Amino acid sequence: MVTKITKFQEKVYAITRKIPKGKTMTYGEIAKILKSSPRAVGQALKRNPYAPIVPCHRVIHTDGRIGGYSGIKDSKKKVKLLKLEGIKIVKGMILK
């Protein structure tokens, strides 16, 4: 099945692709760049067919919470990927 990617999703994926290994951005930061909402960014990333090339696991909540991954809330896979990249996580929160 071929997934149709919207222009908005393309923009979200282009920004997300630029997040370096070991770094994170928030849904809100991406939304601000696109003049959109964090929820819209989350919905686009939920449908990301390009993971891990488009590293949506590097996008987190503004308060440091991990958030979902591939449409799965509080995903262990997202935590595992972030830890492999050197991100420190305690009790589901990113430590900066």
Q: Hey, which residues are catalytic here?
A: 56
Q: How many other CB atoms are there within 10 angstroms of residue 69's CB atom?
A: 23
Query: Rounded to the nearest 10 degrees, what angle do helices 27-34 and 7-17 cross at?
Result: 120
Which residues lie closer than 8 Å to 58 by C-beta, 6 or more apart? 16, 19, 23, 24, 25, 82, 85
